[in-house]
Amino acid sequence: MALDREFAESLVNALGGAGWHTVLPDDPLPNPLDITFSTQTHTRRLIIYARKITPQSSAESDHGRPTGEMHVQMLFDGDQRGRGVRNHLRFETDAHTVLFGFYRLNDDYVVAAYDPIRHREYAYSKSLQVKQWKIEEAVKFGIAFQTRQTDEVVVIFHLDQILQYLDLASEFHNLTPDTLSDTAPDETLPPAVRRAFVPILDTDELPVLDVEEREQRVAETTRYIRNHQFRRGILSVYQRCAICGFQYDYILDAAHIVPVAEGGTDTYDNGLGLCPNCHRMFDKGLILVDRDCRIYINPRYAEEYDQMGLAGSLDTLQQTLRETLWLPEDEHFHPSVDNLRQTFEARR
């Protein structure tokens, strides 16, 4: 039941390429493997449960499952067998528990990541399934999703995308059909997300991507997931436009204070709930907000409008704006002073 060392070494190398380093203990490796990775400034502790993905039907085993289905057996150190006996995955407050099946292709690994929360209790040698064509899709596309009959979302990815999975594991596993209906009008649904619910069985239709292209496709998917979670989070705490104050909660946008392209994060301290008009005017710098949450018309635009004989329209706009931002009662959801200051100074 020891953790496969070649897989563990490949996982360590993949995270090492992203700046997270560790040293594996000597053989045999425990399964689960409790291990801490570090950079110069941060640490990340993982509790890794991992077993090989094998065909459902083989010379050693026949589970009576459909052709083309693979499986992972939950057999880990210390597991007990017997009628009614339940084993438990370990969860600790300072660690990230992961449940992996791994499949080797030449010198690469494809990982099927299961939601550990859904399997925190399990019977001895419980079998977890994954479709073979989903593995093939991940090989070609970089990432794929499979929704099981239990509504669990299995995330299948190249091992070199392990950091992206760790950063968004909860969001990936909570991907649901609501994701499609809750997409903002200006968002493009990445193919990998669409295929989670509208599968393409013929993987020959998919192009074979090189490493750089796979990384780009995975980046598109993770960016979409981050945007989606950011939007849902911001709209859950803003009941009105923070700038004009009108209760447009059913059409509010989730606006970034510091744009993502400039290093902004998808977090509450970098977000505001804004109506579409205020969102556009804020992004263009027509409306400014200082570190004290005071709202201004950008003087530069005032001069331009005055020269065009349109000063009256800015006077009308000024009358619709609040003096300061409307913010949620809970200060945990307020924008940070640093983010407001950075954008105010850049656009003033």
pLDDT in tens, 85-138: 999 999 999 999 999 999 998 878 999 999 999 999 999 999 999 999 889 888
Supply the pLDDT for residue 199: 54
DSSP 223-244: HHHHHHHHHHHHHHH-SS-TTT
Contact 340, 257 (CB under 8 A): yes
CA distance 243 to 287: 9
- What domains can you pick out in the chain, each with its CATH number? 5-229 (no CATH), 238-347 (1.10.30)
Could you tell me the pLDDT band of residue 162, with boundaries at 50, 70 and 90?
very high
Predicted TM-score (pTM) of the model is 0.69
Cα–Cα nearest to 48, from 86, 18, 10: 10
CA distance 20 to 12: 8
- Confidence label for 171 from pLDDT (cuts 50, 70 and 90): confident
* Residue range 54-100, pLDDT digits in tens: 987 654 444 555 567 899 999 999 999 998 899 999 999 999 999 99
Phi, psi (5° rounding) for residue 295?
-105, 135
b/e string for 103-140 if b means 16 or more Cβ within 10 A? beeeeebbbbbbbbebbeebbeeeebbbbbbbbbbbbb
The C-alpha atoms of residue 135 and residue 143 are separated, in whole angstroms, by 9
Across the range 156-172, mean pLDDT stands at 89
